[in-house]
Amino acid sequence: MAALIMSNALLWVTNIALVLTVLALARQIGVLNERVAPVGALTMDHGPKVGEAAPVFTLPKLGGGEIAIGTATGRSLLLFFLSPTCPVCKKLLPILRSLSQHERATIDVVLASDGEVGEHSRFYQREKLAPFPYVLSADLGMAFRISKLPYAVVIGPAGLISAKGLVNNREQIESLLIAQEMGVASLQDYRAKTHNHADAPSD
């Protein structure tokens, strides 16, 4: 009988230790998840700010025709700045194709760059970019103060800048669209405000 009582006691102690271990691991996983949460596009403090009216341009497209940028069209526009010599830009082109298909009901994707037309025409044909409007304008890049590539700007249906930032992967491109949906400048801005609110002393 004594042995049975002792074994039951040891079993309860073991179970309690396991529960405590699981709780500790769950807490650590939560902390780790918070630390490695997806990082949104890196917003640069240059050019028009989120919430301001986008610069308005009417530009010729490679392949013919013109496109208006920055006007109120009732649709969102993802303006993607790239270069034929930028390897990361090329890596993101299939992602843009996929995004354009999935979001075609609400958003248009426009590729933008500057430089010699021949080089871009060859790039345009080689990468099969005909589905996208492709514009060349140094003034456009200067208006948005683009200094690093690849860079993306989301212009809302009313012609206001909804989100912008450096983008190096799918998650960062999608973070701009999420920021637009949430009505925040960037995911970093949202996280900072959330943390500040959580850390604020209560009355």
Question: Domain spans of the chain?
Answer: 1-29, 57-192
Choose the weakest-confidence range: 7-11, 110-114, 127-131: 7-11
21: left (phi over 0), alpha (psi -120 to 50) or beta: alpha
The answer, yes or no, to whether residue 169 has pLDDT greater than 90, is yes
pLDDT digit string, tens, across residues 70-122:
999 999 999 999 999 999 999 999 999 999 999 999 999 999 999 999 999 99
* Percent share of the chain, pLDDT over 70: 79
The DSSP call for residue 110 is E
CATH T-level fold of 57-192? Glutaredoxin (3.40.30)
- Asked whether residue 165 carries a pLDDT value surpassing 90, the answer given is yes
Q: Looking at 95-99, 123-127, 191-195, which range is the least confident one?
A: 191-195
pLDDT category, 21, cuts 50, 70, 90?
Answer: confident
- The phi and psi torsions of 168 (rounded to 5 degrees) equal -120, -5
Which region among 42-51, 117-126, 129-138, 146-155 has the lowest average model confidence (pLDDT)?
A: 42-51
Summary mean pLDDT of the chain: 85
Please check the confidence at residue 201 and state whether its pLDDT lies above 90.
Answer: no
CA distances from 101 to 53, 94, 95, 153, 159 (A): 27, 11, 10, 18, 22
